[in-house]
Amino acid sequence: MIRKPIFAANWKMNNGASATEDFIKSFLSKIQGENLPCDIVIAPPFISLPKLADLLHNAATGQNAHAIQIAAQNCSQFDSGAYTGEISVLMLREFFVHYVILGHSERRAIFGETAATINAKLKKAREGNLKPIFCIGETLAEREAGQLETVLRTQITGGLDGVSEKDLAETVIAYEPVWAIGTGVTATSQQAQDAHAFVRSVIAELYGAEAAARIRIQYGGSVKPGNAAELMACPDIDGALIGGAALEPQSFLEIIRNGSATAE
């Protein structure tokens, strides 16, 4: 398998410290002794990072704790200083954060993040050795207007502008059709595969065939235990970014099990 599947939970603004503790204890007890052939990542709200880091890096929690890697849901494009409400990459590193979700459609639509901001954050993340999970995806109106490829190409070129091949190799792309996020409507496996293949072809144009063959592209948008296997069986889908269904330890685990069983 050239690309190891990656399953990432995006908890959004859910699970404070005590709910994080409950989730992790339950999840770790469920995966005890299991060797899952994939990367497992959890992105809690900032406020829960210390608790998550403590649970996962405390030997008493058990050896399987190291099977889980920590992501942040955002980071600042600045190093430090007068940026009220912001969290820097270096601050995240203190809590064993290895990944950072950038460009999520909620950040683009609700918080007005532009391609330039996302690009600056992505570069800052790489400077601090965080692995970006770079989200892209079209709205329903854009898809229906036949703009899917234009939108994806624009988001990719904007977000990755000036990003080196070396840094791209540490980046994961998450294709998340906006109309499928939190709606219960999932892209069909054919729609998802077509979009992923297109994204990979754009990466090939920009960085060459080898980089394109290596980059992991996750699907996100109402992934559930029941649809994970079919989606992950698609040749260009290398894991999932999961919101609602990753709030329950059992359902997150079933997505991972079902999805990694069919991932190519």
Residues engaged in binding ligand PEP (CB under 6 A): 10, 176, 181-182, 220-223, 241-245
Check: CB of residue 163 under 8 Å from CB of residue 171. Answer: yes
Which residue, 101 or 163, has its beta carbon nearer to ligand PEP?
101
Beta carbon of residue 118, minimum distance to ligand PEP (angstroms, whole number): 15
Which residue, 172 or 245, has its beta carbon nearer to ligand PEP?
245
Which residue, 113 or 176, has its beta carbon nearer to ligand PEP?
176
Helix (H/G/I), strand (E/B), else coil: 94: coil
Burial 149-159, CB ≥16 within 10 A → b, else e: eebbbebbebb
Q: Mark whether 176 is an active-site residue.
A: yes
User: In this structure, what token pair is assigned to residue 93?
Assistant: 């590193």
Q: Mark whether 196 is an active-site residue.
A: no
In the set 104, 106, 138, 254, the catalytic residue is: 104
In the set 106, 113, 176, 254, the catalytic residue is: 176
Beta carbon of residue 19, minimum distance to ligand PEP (angstroms, whole number): 17
Helix (H/G/I), strand (E/B), else coil: 39: strand
Nearest-angstrom CA–CA distance, 137 and 64: 33
Q: Are strands 39-43 and 239-242 parallel, antiparallel or unpaired?
A: unpaired
Nearest-angstrom CA–CA distance, 93 and 47: 14
| DSSP bridge partners of 139 | none
Residue with tokens 């608790």: 51
Beta carbon of residue 199, minimum distance to ligand PEP (angstroms, whole number): 16
Which residue, 220 or 259, has its beta carbon nearer to ligand PEP?
220
What's the one-letter identity of residue 257?
R
Cα separations in angstroms, 218 against 96, 133, 155, 259: 22, 9, 16, 11
Residue nearest to ligand PEP (CB): 243
Which residue, 176 or 238, has its beta carbon nearer to ligand PEP?
176
Beta carbon of residue 261, minimum distance to ligand PEP (angstroms, whole number): 20
Beta carbon of residue 216, minimum distance to ligand PEP (angstroms, whole number): 15
Residues with a catalytic annotation lie at 104, 176
